[in-house]
Structure 1
Amino acid sequence: MAADKLLDMPTRESALPGRAEPIRTDEVHYVNGRPLKGPYPEGFETALFGMGCFWGVERVFWKLPGVWVTAVGYAGGFTPNPTYEEVCTGRTGHNEVVEVVFNPHEITYQDLLKVFWENHDPTQGMRQGGDVGTQYRSGIYYADEAQKAAAEASKAAYEEALQAKGLGPITTEVLPAPEFYYAEDYHQGYLAKNPGGYCGIGGTGVTCPIGVGVEA
């Protein structure tokens, strides 16, 4: 995206109006065939992360043992049921996010947080690498107070690790999970449908101490 892309969040009043009806998306996951919108097995939990372009982010998570299904979408803004083109204008306020449905008996939320921190650069503000704009901001959107506590503890621990390596402060937003809008069908499982497609994510190379003796 161009460097002059909007870097400021719109207000509710200035955001695009969107629409009442959801946009068309896939019914099942392209890789594992499980229903994107449920029903999910009893006792499974949901996590929501923004880490830059959601194509590569989704692939990172769908490969993890214990993850039941993943979906890409938009969250954190004002425009109801936005299209990708609308999100790309910077006038919806939405972030590109990945919803992760997981079995907490096979993979913990702390495990997912470690993957989150180590697979992008959370110090970059309204961009991720060459992808510039509010839709590429780093974000953790927690489902409950337990996830909030774990997210905040992991953020503090990782920030200390980053600063020890000379990196700047973390810009990740940690907020209650907003409404999640599924992205268009062609975005779901994108890198499985397009194996040579663009993947813009990359970590800092700094290990997150969660899971190596530090409790979130």
Structure 2
Amino acid sequence: MNHHVFHKTIMTQPEAGQEIATFALGCFWGAEKLFWQQDGVVMTSVGYAGSDFENPSYEQVCAGVTGHAEAVQIIYDPSVISYQDLLQLFWENHDPTQGMRQGNDIGTQYRSVILAHDLTQQELAETSREEYQKLLSAKGYPSITTEIEAFKTYYLAEEYHQQYLSKNPAGYCGHGGTGVCFIQN
């Protein structure tokens, strides 16, 4: 499978000097576009994560029978963009208080999840959630419902979902944040 934006084969493992992050923040089309636009991001893909169900299809995920979330996987150069920078983009570009939905997209596949690839990512994610909750609370938002869990498996979504908004510039993107900027300490 070739990446429509980066014009190379989609990879799901980082090369030397690169790191990996996996997030779910609603519909994966808009999430992937958000991240592929960032300096230092060298690869993105969309897929299904957050469940032990093996080899799910889009139809199964949408039917709610697999427990997967629509996820974006990001391979990045940490000398250009940090994991903390990616977390800031994650928090600011969706509403992490909505539970099993983002806007009009409703279902378990649209939930907010950070899938930590190691203990450092887990700790940074938990700290950022606490910090962002304080900012949201000050603006009257309810509690964050974002799950933070250890990364287990990631299944690439079907080819037509990869870089969907590059192939279909007028395609649907239901992403919208809360308008609360994440000011990191």
Q: Which of the five TM-score ranges fits, normalised by the shorter chain?
A: over 0.9
- Give the counterpart of 1:143 among 112, 117, 136: 117
Counterpart pick for 2:11 among 37, 41, 55: 37
4+ residue runs of structure 1 moved beyond 6 angstroms?
none
Change (3 A) 1:39 1:127: closer
Question: What runs of 5+ residues in structure 2 fail to find an aligned partner?
Answer: none
Aligned length: 185
SS in 2 for 1:204: coil
Shift of 1:98: 0.2
* TM-aligned CA distance change 1:145 to 1:39, over 3 Å: closer
Superposed CA deviations along residues 1-41 of structure 1, whole A, max 9, x for unmatched, are xxxxxxxxxxxxxxxxxxxxxxxxxx221111132125643
* C-alpha spacing 1:127/1:62, structure 2 compared with 1 (3 Å): same
Name the structure where helix makes up a greater proportion of residues: 2
d(CA) in 2 for partners of 1:147, 1:78: 21
Select which of 71, 80, 84 maps to 2:45.
Answer: 71
* Alignment partner of 1:82 is 2:56: yes
Q: 1:153 aligns with which of 127, 130, 133?
A: 127
SS at match of 2:129: helix
Given that residues 14 and 20 in structure 2 are in contact (C-alpha distance below 8 angstroms), is that contact kept between their aligned partners in structure 1?
A: no
Question: Per the alignment, do residues 88 and 152 of structure 1 end up closer, same or farther by CA in structure 2, a change over 3 Å counting?
Answer: same
SS in 2 for 1:186: helix
| % identity of equivalent residues | 52
Q: How many angstroms apart in 1 are the aligned matches of 2:182 and 2:146?
A: 15
Which of these two proteins has the greater Rg computed from alpha carbons?
1
3-state SS, counterpart of residue 200 of structure 1: coil
Root-mean-square deviation (CA), in Å?
Answer: 1.0
For 1:182, the aligned partner's letter is L
Please say if residues 11 and 43 of structure 2, whose CA atoms lie closer than 8 Å, have aligned partners that are also in contact: no
Partner residue, 1:108: 82
> Which ranges in structure 1 are unaligned for 5 or more consecutive residues?
1-26
* C-alpha distance in structure 2 between counterparts of 1:81 and 1:39, whole Å: 18
